[in-house]
Amino acid sequence: MIDQIRYQLGRIRRNHGLEHATIHMLSENHKNFSAQGNSNHRGFSLNIYGDIGEEDVAAAVAEAHRRMKGGEAHLAVHPNCGTVLLTTAAMGALASQSAFSLEQRRQRRSRMDLSVFFNGLPAAILAGVLSLILSKPVGLALQEKFTTDGNLGDLEVVSVRKVGASPVTRLFQLLLTPGKDLKVSSYRIETRD
């Protein structure tokens, strides 16, 4: 059972790395687009917001796979990954909350009040800014160590096919491309090893 879980997690990490490498390949050849994806043990889904066709996506997947198999493991890490965003959010929240807690303790108050808030606010802002600076390298390191794998091993791409855009894809369109009328295309990339 544990071995099966490790195997499936390894597949997810390799697929996540291939997803990022695909986005890197698309970025090398195209401008004015956004992408969002998610991976599982069977492959990954990729949502493209911009004018990029199915042939371009298939070529990017193939090039990403070829380059990663050729030793370019660094392509598995992407600065806009959810791991980095989650790390940034968590570190910012913890840093700011810690600053307020220290101020509350300094004032020997049993609860948060306006005095604690206003006296602690400068330290909370500074702590938040410092955490933003530190969170990107921390998030990239966490991504490289835990959520992606740049070594594809025997992973093969089975298919790249266009699929219908989901409601979540439409939500990300609003978040990633506000005020822009970009074409939305969704793809499912299946893998095996």
| Residue 162: domain span | 2-78+149-192
Domain boundary among 110, 128, 147: 147
Q: Please state, rounded to an integer, the average pLDDT across all residues of the chain.
A: 95
Q: Are residues 11 and 71 in the same domain?
A: yes
End residue of a domain, out of 147, 163, 180: 147
Average of per-residue pLDDT across 158-182: 86
Model confidence, pTM: 0.91
The pLDDT tens digits of the residues spanning 4-60 come to: 999 999 999 999 999 999 999 999 999 989 899 999 999 999 999 999 999 999 999
Q: Are residues 140 and 154 in the same domain?
A: no
pLDDT attached to residue 66: 98
The C-alpha R_g of the chain, in whole angstroms, comes to: 21
Whether residues 100 and 7 share a domain: the answer is no
Cα–Cα–Cα angle for 53, 59, 62, nearest 5°? 145
Domain identity same for 49 and 97: no
**Co-location of 11 and 68 in the same domain:** yes
pLDDT, residue 32, reads 87
CA dist., res. 3 & res. 159, Å (int): 27
Residue 85: pLDDT band (50, 70, 90) is very high
Q: Assign residue 51 the CATH number of its domain.
A: 3.30.980.10
Of 173, 90, 175, 185, residue with least CA distance to 131: 90
Q: Assess whether 158 and 141 both reside in one domain.
A: no
Give the count of domains, the chain: 2
Based on the fold, state whether residues 36 and 120 are members of the same structural domain.
no
Same domain? For 11 and 47 the reply is yes
Residue 173's region, left for phi above 0, alpha for psi from -120 to 50, else beta, is: alpha
pLDDT at 175: 81
Distance CA 86, CA 155 (A): 27
Compute how many other C-beta atoms are within 10 angstroms of the C-beta atom of residue 132: 13
> What are the tens digits of pLDDT across the range 117-156?
999 999 999 999 999 999 999 999 999 999 999 999 999 9
pLDDT in the model for residue 189: 98
Output the pLDDT for position 88. 97
Name the pLDDT band for 172 (thresholds 50, 70, 90). Answer: confident
